[in-house]
Structure 1
Amino acid sequence: MSATIRLGYAINQWKPNFDDFTRPEQHERALKVLAACGFTGVELRGGTGRWDPLGRPASIAATYGSTGAFLDMVRRTGLAGVSSWYVDPGEPVDEELHRGRSVLDRAQHAAVATSLLPFARFLAEAGGSRLVVRALPSAGSLDLPLSDEAIGAAAECWNTVAATIAETGVRLSLHVDCLSAAADEKTLAALLDATDPARVGLTLDTAEVTVAGLDPVHLFDTHHARVDHLNLKDTRHVDETGERLAPHAESSMLSEGGARGVERWFHECGTPGGLVDFPALAERLRAHDWSGWAVFESEQTPNPARSAMLNGWYAQRLFPTPSAKDRP
């Protein structure tokens, strides 16, 4: 394979509760696990407050003394650095005294761009390449289908953000989760058509789109020119009744399992009964000579270290290096 696929891991699975991932020794232990499992980068997740010391660049500096000190720790564990950062501008941020900003509201676009710039500057210092953002708010909070005006407003926001962070060299990438209004082929295509392809990419999250009833392999083939980041996880379930479109689906469906009482919506890649066809996706990546970060994750896991090991085993076989091709 001439293209370069780098293996990263999302740290979000180590934060299932508000107070159990707050100390530097816990961070270091988790990163050592990731390095031992063969991953070379870590994806951070935006957050807020004293219980989320890795949620914001300022919080990292407050905990470690400086961005540089944090990056020194990351590299001591054996990782190359921070690959990417996921941020949802619709989430409340205590430090900024706001309850979430909407990309559909043009009056808030400048504030969204200003709030995301520190993340991009951090990534530039950390050697990261992608600022991953939630493409659209939850479908359950909106009147569907979205109008052309609403999609145009969101696209304007992301074009503004992309232009604002261009100075850092970090690229903006739109993430589609199963609850998002963007988890619809027509809406996603319209949003991508209205954003600047030179500055705005697409993050393909395999399990999220599968839960929403979409085929990640088909989506990659359709939008491969825009896909510049991967979030890889598996699922055994599709939301066939549309619970993801209901208000408060984050709690009623994802956290509480919905009407079927699903214990875990997301699993390690290659899990028995998993619906994502990872070998087919890997073949399409090779066919399109795709390069970038493939960030593995396993949200809702009861054992983060075990999930990282299972994902690491699978990752090394899905994307084998020349020295690993003869492994059984």
Structure 2
Amino acid sequence: MTAGPSAPAPGSPDRTVQAVPTGNAVLDRLRIGSAPDSWGVWFPDDERQVPWRRFLDEVADAGYDWIELGPYGYLPTDPARLRDETGRRGLRVSAGTVFTALHRGPAVWDETWAQVSRVAGLTRAMGARHLVVIPSFWRDDRTAEIIEDPVLTPEQWRHLTTGTERLAREVRERYGLEIAVHPHADTHIDGEENVARFLDATDPALVGLCLDTGHYAYCGGDSVRLIETYGERIGYLHLKQVDPEVLAGVVAEGLPFGPAVARGVMREPPGGLPALEPVLHSAQGLGVDLFAIVEQDMYPCDPDRPLPVARRTRRYLRGCGA
């Protein structure tokens, strides 16, 4: 298999938006993969989740070459063992993922770095170059208990932006990885207003964005417009769609993200929003190599459900040219 994409750091001068291809254009700048999330995996260990060997077998069977690590500890954390398990299935790792609460200020740095360093070390050892950074939730993902105010104070925004820049700098210098901050439902970086505020306040040479099409639509954002406006900041993609009818009920009832997923708010393409083909063409138009990782978000789910969905999704993306 070929080596992973070597996209320039966010803010590099060659990350200019080109004309968006139309028709049956080949999306040759996108590296399509999937993640444990598409198999209903949200936690390192949960009896309702498929065993990790089954995930690796099925993600390869579905036609994907790239995977993410998922929650740290779900896949083997010994690099030699994980390289053996992935290599004999023709798989490679595109990124690791961490959760952070940097808006809480310097007091959380040591705890944050302890978690980040474990994931970053394994990510680097697997030959990947990206670390997806997800902000902490402001309400409990299962119980809907309000943990924090959903609106940050100016001081908390400063902690968030400066802390993220510090994290990006440390991760790059120590591990050679680039971070991609992931706007996420029920976090302080969610829809258009907060994403723009975050990007405008952080250094584009350090902080990239992981555009998750499903989460951004869930929070009212337009993925194509985000790519057109902040294309130089897009360092990574997550692909998913929302069901607008289910989402309307979720919003009306004020459901947290976890129960919303259990209700089916995320659906396989092409049945939801946003339409993925225009997003893919816009991303291709950036003129850089990007990972585009499918994340189906369907925890918990029947263990026999993910593979057929994954196969159909891969077939759909091939039909889009990816």
Work out whether the TM-score is over 0.5.
Answer: yes
Whether the 8 Å CA contact 1:236–1:275 is kept in 2: the answer is yes
Change (3 A) 1:207 1:168: same
Aligned equivalent of 2:98:
87
Q: SS of the counterpart of 1:88?
A: strand
Aligned equivalent of 1:291:
289
Aligned equivalent of 2:80:
68
Change (3 A) 1:10 1:245: farther
Q: SS of the counterpart of 1:143?
A: coil
Alpha-carbon offset, residue 194 of structure 1: 2.4
Distance in 2, Cα, partners of 1:251 & 1:268? 17
Per-residue displacement from partner, 1:233-266 (whole Å, max 9, x unpaired)?
11112745784995x72455444xxxxxxx3011
Change (3 A) 1:286 1:12: closer
Aligned equivalent of 1:268:
268
Aligned equivalent of 1:172:
179
Alpha-carbon offset, residue 207 of structure 1: 0.9
Whether the 8 Å CA contact 1:86–1:133 is kept in 2: the answer is yes
Aligned amino acid, residue 161 of structure 1: L
Alpha-carbon offset, residue 20 of structure 1: 4.4
Distance in 1, Cα, partners of 2:136 & 2:28? 30
Distance in 2, Cα, partners of 1:244 & 1:102? 30
State the superposition RMSD in angstroms. 2.6
Task: Output aligned runs, 1:118-267, within 5 Å.
Answer: 118-135=118-135, 137-138=137-138, 141-166=147-172, 167-237=174-244, 239-240=247-248, 243=251, 249-255=256-262, 263-267=263-267
Higher relative contact order (CA 8 A, sep 6+): 2
Q: SS of the counterpart of 1:103?
A: helix
Aligned equivalent of 2:320:
318
Whether the 8 Å CA contact 2:99–2:136 is kept in 1: the answer is no
Aligned equivalent of 1:111:
111
Aligned equivalent of 2:68:
43
Per-residue displacement from partner, 1:38-85 (whole Å, max 9, x unpaired)?
2111112225xxxx533xxxxx24xxxx31111111010111x11112
Q: SS of the counterpart of 1:45?
A: coil
Whether the 8 Å CA contact 2:27–2:321 is kept in 1: the answer is no
Distance in 1, Cα, partners of 2:321 & 2:57? 21
Alpha-carbon offset, residue 305 of structure 1: 0.7
Change (3 A) 1:35 1:108: same
- Which range is displaced more, 308-317 or 180-189? 180-189
Aligned amino acid, residue 72 of structure 1: D
Alpha-carbon offset, residue 181 of structure 1: 2.1
Alpha-carbon offset, residue 136 of structure 1: 5.1
Change (3 A) 1:290 1:319: farther
Alpha-carbon offset, residue 304 of structure 1: 0.9
Aligned equivalent of 1:326:
none
Aligned equivalent of 2:277:
279
Per-residue displacement from partner, 1:203-245 (whole Å, max 9, x unpaired)?
0111111111111111222221111111101111274578499
Whether the 8 Å CA contact 2:214–2:266 is kept in 1: the answer is yes
Q: SS of the counterpart of 1:307?
A: helix
Change (3 A) 1:136 1:184: farther
Aligned amino acid, residue 306 of structure 1: P
Aligned equivalent of 1:13:
38
Whether the 8 Å CA contact 1:270–1:278 is kept in 2: the answer is yes
Distance in 1, Cα, partners of 2:151 & 2:105? 17
Per-residue displacement from partner, 1:71-120 (whole Å, max 9, x unpaired)?
111010111x111122223xxxxxxxxxxx55323211233123202211
Per-residue displacement from partner, 1:110-148 (whole Å, max 9, x unpaired)?
331232022112111111121111135336544354232
1:53 equivalent in alignment to 2:74: yes
Distance in 2, Cα, partners of 1:226 & 1:194? 12
Aligned amino acid, residue 58 of structure 2: V
